[in-house]
Amino acid sequence: MSSEKQAEEAIVSSLNETMEHEEEDQGDNSVFSVKSLLWHGGSVYDAWFSCASNQVAQVLLTLPYSFSQMGMLSGIILQVFYGVLGSWTAYLISVLYIEYRTRKEKENVSFKNHVIQWFEVLDGLLGPYWKAIGLAFNCTFLLFGSVIQLIACASNIYYINDKLDKRTWTYIFGACCATTVFIPSFHNYRIWSFLGLGMTTYAAWYLTIAALVHGQVEGVTHQGPTKLVLYFTGATNILYTFGGHAVTVEIMHAMWKPQKFKYIYLLATLYVFTLTIPSASAVYWAFGDQLLNHSNAFSLLPHSAWRDAAVILMLIHQFITFGFACTPLYFVWEKVVGMHDTKSICLRAVSRLPVVIPIWFLAIIFPFFGPINSAVGSLLVSFTVYIIPALAHMLTYKSASARKVNS
């Protein structure tokens, strides 16, 4: 326990120095106080909002589709299973982050102008091969996660305004989402995380209430899984729901006391259950097997001002989630081109543009996101969320001496 306490003290000391430096630069005035309230996040609550907001976005709209593929009981059980298991691996990631940062702090390495990322943790603890594996899986996952957000924006707005086709809407929202290059780091998502979770909460409960008020359609059927391939397609979409681990380390690094992250992801997941399970169950109960041909839950609900509000709020939230997915990619690219420690927001924003453009291009090519969710879940999330963190933790603490130091 003494070594863990020393590690925490070293990290807190380093963070205090960074915060003091920031305060000296900004000065003492009321404008800075308001700016800190809205812009400079780093508390336990900020991390909880970030985790919860990032976990559930457009996938909320495809979960009823997954329920139609695999049945309600399996859908609920797998949500709970993947959510709890994902919380456990997020805890393992937090332990590895603290271990890596402790070692670096002992070597007098400063992270004042550097954001630690998952591939760097793997590199420091297990070597360059693990760094390459972590970098490949995380970057690919985040790349397609960003693409999915753009596609989902175009798909959702189409239910309000169908005068433009979905590909044209993708052009428009790609330009809007490109403005995330001006958000420096996860410290600066404080107000956005709070608003994003509020918007998703509204959308989830709109789906639940609207489906219950609508009632079951005439001749509704709930056949559940009719083909094995449909069952596992639905399962991988649920797997993707709880796959926000690609940004876990960046969220931890943005905290003033990252050692307090350990149980935040679990608490965020428990809240997410209150959004995903009722909404998916209600929509599937109301529309049944019709959902097999409608991957977006909005498409079956009647047009109303309430639905339009839910669509608009989901659009804003998807913009926020796009930023969550892209920001780690921005960091990686900044480190490649040597711009990561640059203080100028404008210079960093310009250097980040080569990351946004390919994402925009891919979103235009693939104008559908339901099947992509399942593909990303099966090919990327399984490794990024479950396999790699568990293996990395086992190998880091495989020796008795390493386990003793960590105890």
Is residue 221 included in any domain, yes or no? yes
Distances (CA, A) of 24 to 13, 235, 305: 17, 51, 48
Provide the pLDDT for residue 79. 94
CA distance 342 to 346: 10
Report DSSP state, residue 369: -
CA separation for the pair 153, 161 (Å, rounded): 12
> How many domains are there within the chain?
1
Range of the domain at 70: 50-400
Distance CA 239, CA 380 (A): 10
Q: What string of DSSP letters covers 56-79?
A: SSTHHHHHHHHHHHH-HHHHHHHH
Joined tokens for residue 294? 């409608």
The list of the chain residues with pLDDT below 70 reads 1-39, 367-378, 401-407
Residue 311 lies in a domain: yes
- How does pLDDT run across 142-173, given as a tens digit for each residue? 888 888 888 888 878 877 887 888 788 888 88
- Looking at residue 80, its pLDDT comes to 94
SS3 content of the chain, % helix, strand, coil (to 5): 80, 0, 20
Residue 303 is classified by DSSP as: P
Does a structural domain hold residue 31? no
Give Cα separations from 330 to 185, 249, 380, 399 (angstroms). 9, 14, 20, 36
pLDDT score, position 402:
66
Query: Is residue 36 in a domain?
Result: no
Q: Is residue 27 part of a domain?
A: no
Domain presence at residue 33: no
Residue 20 placed within a domain: no
Q: Estimate the crossing angle of helix 118-126 against helix 128-157, to 10 degrees.
A: 160
Q: Residue 159 in contact with residue 307, Cβ under 8 Å?
A: yes
Question: What is the structure's pLDDT at 1?
Answer: 46
Token pair 């659009």: residue: 315
Asked if residue 224 is part of any domain, the answer here is yes
Can you give the pLDDT at residue 40? 73
The reported pLDDT for the residue numbered 383 is: 87
Domain harbouring 373, CATH code: 1.10.4160.10
pLDDT value for 32:
52
List CB contacts of 313: < 8 A, sequence separation 6 or more: 199, 200, 202, 203
Reading the block at residue 311, the tokens are: 């669509």
